[in-house]
Amino acid sequence: MSVTAPLGVTAAGIAAGIKPDGVLDLALIVTDEPATAAAVFTTNLAAAAPVQLSRRHVSGGVARAVVLNSGCANAATGPSGDLVAIGTARAAAKVLGCKVTEVLVCSTGTIGDPLDGPTVAAGVGAASAQLERSPAAGKSAARAIMTTDSGPKETLVESGGFTVGGMAKGAGMIRPDMATMLAVIVTDAVASAEDLSEALRSATEVSFNCLDIDGCASTNDTVITVATGASGVTPDREALTSALTTAAKDLARQIAEDAEGASRLVTLHVKGAVDAAAAKVLGRAMCDSALVRSAFYGGDPNWGRLLSACGEAGIPFDPTEFSVSYQGVLVADEGISTGVDRADLRSTMETGDLDVVVGVGSGPGEATLLTTDLTPQYVEFNAEYS
């Protein structure tokens, strides 16, 4: 169950020396032949050097390799960071015998620290010598991109004669728009660049873009997908989109379940908005609220915090049509309390994951977002982590 599951791809994860103590910190994903490629990136205006490089390279719709490092984001590193990013691509192109523009580069870790170019270049060479098609190689690659993750995140989807395999990292700094942290999704389907790009964007919109863990969008968020075509199967765009969506949703849920300091996963359903986009904005406003997420931590059915967050989201809605259900129990309807015994409800909300449904009107717009509670452990972790 990894990026090596589809036909036509190999992977490796090694300790290049970016992190101390021999920890895996560099992953290399390589296709047997140049593959169709598409990607989505952070919309953060302080985008890191590897994001800027990969944006340019993926515009051609073809990729042969993805190089990913952890331990340093290579963000806010100025011209020297740009040189490291292109140097990484050149090192991979040289050892693989492909075009520089067929290499995509990703980095994750602390913002502002310089990334040592020679270390990464040497790591690319070392990783190329360890490329394998095995599940173990895929798992090593998934481990090599981890930062604060508690374990590797992988997925496998089999559909209509073709396979989708993927890996992701992410546990904090997650409020994406276009992507979340780092993810590579590989399929052995035959797909045009246009179909792959549209399928990826559709999949991302209902998966990674529906994650909101701590209200912070990273400088490095990247999701890359490549189609090797090695299965010989050409799915229609709907089938391709469905398979990529299943994989992306699985990875997104794993990220949410592994969120820094979180004690519970919260699934927030927003219904009745004017359209899906409005529902997502309202959902994010609730997920971004420290008051709301603190209530989730305490299992407190304080629906007024949800109403207040929606009221300042900038999306028109009628408060008299506002409704909230916690764990299937309606606590507010038509903008007022239903009179449910909150003490009894709270006793059922104190532990375990939460399911929250918020109605904001009678429109067709819906969105489902994943978030977590806000815990003292989250604050302690991020006060100390560097």
Q: Which residues participate in catalysis according to the annotation?
A: 180
Across 286-299, b (16+ Cβ under 10 Å) vs e yields: bbbbeebbbbbbeb
Q: Which residues contact 79 (CB under 8 A, 6 or more apart)?
A: none
Tell me if 162 sits within 8 A of 233, measured CB to CB.
yes
DSSP-assigned letters across all residues of 215-262: S-B-SS-EEEEEE--TT-----HHHHHHHHHHHHHHHHHHHHHT-TT-
Amino acid at 264: R
3-state helix, strand, coil in the chain (%, to 5): 35, 25, 35
Pull the structure tokens for residue 92.
């991979």
Rounded CA-CA distance 227/49 in Å is 25
Pairing, β 182-187 against β 222-227? parallel
Rounded CA-CA distance 273/266 in Å is 20
Rounded CA-CA distance 173/126 in Å is 30
What's 210's DSSP letter? Answer: G
Rounded CA-CA distance 175/194 in Å is 27
